[in-house]
Every structure is written in C-alpha cells, then in structure tokens.
Amino acid sequence: MICINYHGHACFSLETDGLNLLTDPFISENPLATIKPESLNPDYILLSHGHPDHVGDVIEIAKRCDAVVIAPFELVQFCLRRGVKKTLAMNIGGSYNASSFSLKMTIAHHSSAYITDSDIIYTGSPCGYLITLQGKTIYFAGDTALFKDMSTIATNPIHLALLPIGDRFTMGVEDARRAVEMLQPDLVIPMHYNTWEVINQDPGKFVASIADLGCRGVVLGIEERLMLP
Ligand code: NI
Ligand code: MN
C-alpha cells in the first residue's frame, strides 16, 4: 500500500511502511498550501528542477530531517552549498536502486535555474522520475512540455502518472491528455495548476477528458490522500 498525499503544486508525499518520499516541496510560498513545511518528515526529497516553485523549502526540510536530496547533478551542488548534508546526484537516463525503492531520471522539456534578487543560478537539466516502490511504478513528470518519448519512457506499466496541466509553463489539459494516451497509466493525478491565476485550469474537466482512454483520473484536493493498493 502506498499513500499519496498532495500538498499542492508539484509537491506530493509518497509513503509506505518505513519510507517517506517527498517531491518538489514548495510549501511556505505556495498561496494554496495548508500545512507548514515543519510538519513534513521525508527520508528522501526528489527535485525536478531548480525553479523556486519546486526547490521551495527543500533546504530547511532536508537539514531538519536529515533527508537525502535527490536531484540533477548541478542542483545537488546548489543544495550542498546551502548546508544540505545528504544528497544523491543523478542525471537524465540514470538509475538508482535503493533497498526499498528505485528511480530512473527521465527527460523533461523545460528550463532550470534558481532565481534570487541578484542572480540567476544555473541548476542543470530539468527532469522527471520513474519511481518504483512496492512493485508499483509512479511517473512524476516534473514541469514538462509534451514529448513523444513518453510513449517509450517506461519499460514497466505505469500505475500512476503525476502530470502537470497548468499550461503556460508546462503542458496544458489537451497535451496532458495526449501524454496519457502515450503513457497508458492506470491512474492519473493532475498537478501544477491553480497555484496562481496564470495556471488556472479545471482539473475536473481534464479528468473527464481522459475517461475514454481507459485511464482513471483523480483530482486530489490539497492535503487529500489516496491509497494505491
Ligand atoms: Ni518550472
Ligand atoms: Mn513550476
């Protein structure tokens, strides 16, 4: 059993007995977030790219929890320089096998940099992840445009796909539907929408639009949980 908990934007907790994975922890600056970063206790934090709406609270959470930050190589250096102790650098196409889960870093068509008042800091390539745990494969797409390689991205069937639908900076609803056609997941949860007006979408409409593809779509409210049996 895997418990999926949506914290808003691209931030999910994926939890099983004794393992807590967290993606793109954008909490304290997220106008829709309803929890505090202090309430999250991940073992591993997966980052898809360096944009502030994905890096978010990673430094604070990783230091407090002694969590391992998994990210593209350059983004790992960014975290190390800010005092994160445990990291795991990867790059596109690479895999990592832990005892309780495995990962493959996938391409994402997007950009990646951390922005401060005075600098734009290069943080490597944006990415997505194929995450396998308890025999289930979860595809966390990150921020990406639609790309045709989605049709071959997984060597195992995808049980759950976490796909952006916000448009403007990522796929919108129509391209996300085409992504579902290529990925053929059992289940889809939309993400990266409604955080700000520029990415406003109707997730219910998206879920309805994929019903004929043999795939179940579920809109998770913020802090709503879903159990993957
Ligand atoms: Ni982004
Ligand atoms: Mn983003």
C-alpha 172 to ligand 1 mean position (Å): 14
The answer on pLDDT for 189 being more than 90 is yes
Structure tokens given for 142? 């990150």
Question: Rounded CA gap, 53 and 196, in Å?
Answer: 11
C-alpha 99 to ligand 2 mean position (Å): 30
| Backbone conformation region of residue 60, classed left if phi is above 0, alpha if psi is from -120 to 50, else beta | alpha
Question: Rounded CA gap, 213 and 187, in Å?
Answer: 11
C-alpha 42 to ligand 1 mean position (Å): 22
Question: Rounded CA gap, 224 and 114, in Å?
Answer: 29
Q: Which residues surround ligand 1, an ion (CB under 5 A)?
A: 51, 143
Residue type, 86: K
C-alpha 18 to ligand 1 mean position (Å): 30
Ligand nearest to the CA of 123: 1
Give the Cβ contact number of residue 2 at 10 Å. Answer: 21
The CATH superfamily label for domain 2-220 reads Ribonuclease Z/Hydroxyacylglutathione hydrolase-like (3.60.15.10)
pLDDT for 9-39, tens place per residue? 999 999 999 999 999 999 999 999 999 999 9
Question: pTM, whole model, 2 decimals?
Answer: 0.98
- Exposed / middle / buried, residue 114 (Cβ in 10 Å: 0-12, 13-18, 19+): middle
For the range 77-83, what are the long-range contacts, defined as Cβ-Cβ under 8 Å and sequence gap of 24 or more?
A: 78/50, 78/114, 78/121, 78/123, 83/59
The answer on pLDDT for 167 being more than 90 is yes
- pLDDT for residue 28: 98
Question: Rounded CA gap, 71 and 50, in Å?
Answer: 9
Q: What is the mean pLDDT of residues 152-165?
A: 95
Q: Are 134 and 2 in contact (CB under 8 A)?
A: yes
Ligand nearest to the CA of 49: 1
Question: Rounded CA gap, 88 and 67, in Å?
Answer: 10
C-alpha 192 to ligand 2 mean position (Å): 7
Q: What is the mean pLDDT of residues 45-64?
A: 98
Ligand nearest to the CA of 110: 1
- Exposed / middle / buried, residue 104 (Cβ in 10 Å: 0-12, 13-18, 19+): buried
The answer on pLDDT for 154 being more than 90 is no
Q: What is the mean pLDDT of residues 46-73?
A: 98
The answer on pLDDT for 143 being more than 90 is yes
- pLDDT for residue 103: 98
In the chain, the percentage of residues whose pLDDT exceeds 70 is: 100
Q: What is the mean pLDDT of residues 191-219?
A: 97
- pLDDT for residue 229: 87
Q: Which among 15, 18, 39 is positioned nearest to 27, based on CA atoms?
A: 39
The answer on pLDDT for 43 being more than 90 is yes
